[in-house]
Chain A
Amino acid sequence: MIRLGAKEIVEKIKDEANAECEKIMSGARETGKKKVEESRAEIELQKRRFIEAEERKGVEEKERIVRAARLNARKLKWDVEEEMIAKALEEAMNRIKEVKTDGFKGNSYSDIMAGLIKDAAISIIAGSSAGGDELEVIISEEDASFVNKKMLKKISDEINQDRGVNVRLSLSGERIKSAGGVIVRGKGVEIEVNNTFEQRMARLSTSLREDIVKTLFMTRSV
């Protein structure tokens, strides 16, 4: 009777142990599975965020490349414009030699020099308080053949008649180094007008540049 009772007890102990074991194993499997699943979900979320961040970086880098390319494109356009503007100015200066021999638009070089002398003289008179002015004309050695006393007399007569003044123009023995044009200076007065081509280009640079851009890059309609 007692042995039968003991066997039952032992069986019960074994059953309870087995049940507990199953509970432990089931719990462990459940815990393990949950750990792995949670980890997968976290990794997936992190992966999505990572991709978003990398995509943003990628887009920014692509936009940076495109911005740089557009800047380079603008620079290329400016470089071509500057190259052609410089070419136009250089060509104009190179043509001066032709102008001296062949004239320009029906004007001989002497006429052109006369115009520059008259223009400079009038500017000096306008700035001077005195009614009579002794002005001297300074030119380059190369241009010496284009200016003479007769021409200067004619110019001064024109000015005197138009302006009611008494201007006398004379050719200075001094010479300048210049592509062309004149300097007109008051004798004994510190006033001069520099109408050499170089100075005129410098003085008129802004409007010359506007003219160049307007005419050089004008698109002709076909």
Chain B
Amino acid sequence: MAVEALKLIREGEEEGRKLMDAEKESAARIIKDAEEEVKRLKEKAREDEKSLAVQISDTYAKEGAEKEKKIVENAEAEAEKRKANAESNLENTVNVLLEKILGLV
């Protein structure tokens, strides 16, 4: 009877150990899954950074190109205006030059 009791207790202890071992394995899997999740999140973050970089760069490049276009357009218009003004003053200017070159002033 005592032997039976001991046998029961040992079996009970064995069962307890098996249960704990199984739970420890499950716990390890939970932590491993969490680590996998962290890895996945970091990988996604890296991918997101790549596309964010392109998006941000494209936005500023577009803004820069738009500003550049306006500056060039204004400069070209201004240059045309300046040239037209100079053409209208060309005769006068040539007369002023000739006066000096010919020694009349």
Query: Could you list which residues of chain A lie within 8 angstroms of chain B, going by C-beta atoms?
Result: 2-3, 5-7, 9-11, 13-14, 16-18, 20-21, 24-25, 27-29, 31-33, 35-36, 39-40, 43, 46-47, 50-51, 54-55, 57-59, 61-66, 68-70, 72-73, 76-77, 79-81, 83-84, 87-89, 91-92, 95, 99, 104-105, 107, 112, 115-116, 119, 195, 197, 200-201, 204, 207-208, 211-212, 215-220
Contact across chains for A92 and B16 when beta carbons are under 8 A apart: no
Question: For the complex, would chain A's binding face be called helix, strand, loop or mixed by DSSP majority?
Answer: helix
Question: For the complex, would chain B's binding face be called helix, strand, loop or mixed by DSSP majority?
Answer: helix
Q: How large is the interface on B (under 10, 10 to 19, 20 to 34, 35 or more residues)?
A: 35 or more
Q: Which residues of B contact A7 (CB under 8 A)?
A: 8
Query: Could you list which residues of chain B lie within 8 angstroms of chain A, going by C-beta atoms?
Result: 1-2, 4-6, 8-9, 11-13, 15-17, 19-20, 23-24, 26-28, 30-31, 33-35, 37-38, 41-42, 45, 48-49, 52-53, 56-57, 59-61, 63-65, 67-68, 71-72, 74-76, 78-79, 82-83, 85-90, 92-104
Contact across chains for A24 and B49 when beta carbons are under 8 A apart: no
Contact across chains for A76 and B76 when beta carbons are under 8 A apart: yes
CA distance A68 to B64 in the complex (A): 10
Contact across chains for B1 and A10 when beta carbons are under 8 A apart: no
A-B contact pairs, 24 of them (CB 8 A): A6-B9, A10-B11, A11-B12, A14-B15, A20-B20, A21-B19, A25-B30, A28-B31, A39-B37, A40-B41, A50-B52, A54-B57, A55-B56, A62-B67, A83-B83, A104-B98, A115-B104, A119-B103, A195-B103, A204-B101, A211-B100, A212-B97, A218-B85, A220-B85
